[in-house]
């Protein structure tokens, strides 16, 4: 069928691109390792909700045979389901922080790899290590300035790649 043929052509093109672009191949590894980290952060959030009996939806509350409890100390609609425990909120915040930073990296990192196929991948490694450290500090250690330093380091990596992209496009 033509759809099968199209899929083969696309797959062949992707494999060739990865073989000819070491930066893109390295980027793929970093994306996979960041996805694993995000899964672990999400898992931590789920564990915290279970430990603190803080379901995040009415159906979760019903499944756990819990009555939703309203927290009058916060205006968050999610607090209706008991998610105002500090560790549960910390878990949600860690997920949100990942979304704010990692998705931006995906875009910048992909363009960087496509523009600089034989360029340095050190910025990918810096970003990866900084995000893992940020999550560890955010969830377990809970101390500044370490969390801020980890965030600043991953921001540096993104800005360095962005500057390289802009310079390459200007030439």
Q: Per-residue pLDDT tens for 125-142?
A: 999 999 999 999 999 999
DSSP letters, 76-137, are -GGGGGTTTSHHHHHHHHHHHHHHHHHHHHHHHHHHHHHH-TTS--HHHHHHHHHHHHHHHI
pTM (two decimals): 0.81
Residues 145, 150, 153, 159: is their CA dihedral positive or negative?
A: negative
Check: CB of residue 166 under 8 Å from CB of residue 113: no
Task: Return the number of other C-beta atoms located less than 10 Å from residue 25's C-beta.
Answer: 15
Q: How confident is the model at residue 117 (pLDDT cuts 50, 70, 90)?
A: confident
d(CA 84, CA 64): 17
pLDDT over 90 (residue 79): no
3-state secondary structure of 149: helix
d(CA 169, CA 92): 38
Q: How confident is the model at residue 45 (pLDDT cuts 50, 70, 90)?
A: very high
Check: CB of residue 6 under 8 Å from CB of residue 89: no
Could you give the angle at which helices 22-51 and 122-136 cross, rounded to 10 degrees?
A: 10
């Amino acid at each position: 069928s033509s759809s099968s043929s199209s899929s083969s052509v696309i797959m062949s093109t992707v494999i060739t691109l990865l073989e000819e672009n070491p930066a893109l191949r390295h980027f793929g590894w970093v994306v996979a390792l960041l996805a694993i980290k995000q899964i672990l952060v999400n898992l931590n959030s789920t564990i915290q909700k279970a430990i603190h009996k803080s379901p995040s939806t009415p159906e979760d509350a019903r499944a756990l045979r819990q009555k939703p409890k309203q927290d009058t100390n916060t205006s968050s609609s999610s607090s209706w389901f008991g998610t105002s425990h500090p560790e549960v909120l910390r878990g949600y915040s860690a997920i949100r922080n990942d979304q704010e930073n990692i998705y931006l990296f995906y875009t910048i990192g992909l363009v960087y790899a496509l523009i600089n196929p034989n360029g340095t991948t050190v910025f990918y490694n810096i970003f990866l290590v900084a995000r893992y450290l940020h999550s560890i500090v955010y969830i377990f250690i809970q101390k500044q300035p370490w969390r801020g330093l980890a965030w600043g380091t991953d921001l540096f990596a993104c800005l360095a790649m962005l500057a390289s992209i802009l310079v390459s496009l200007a030439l």
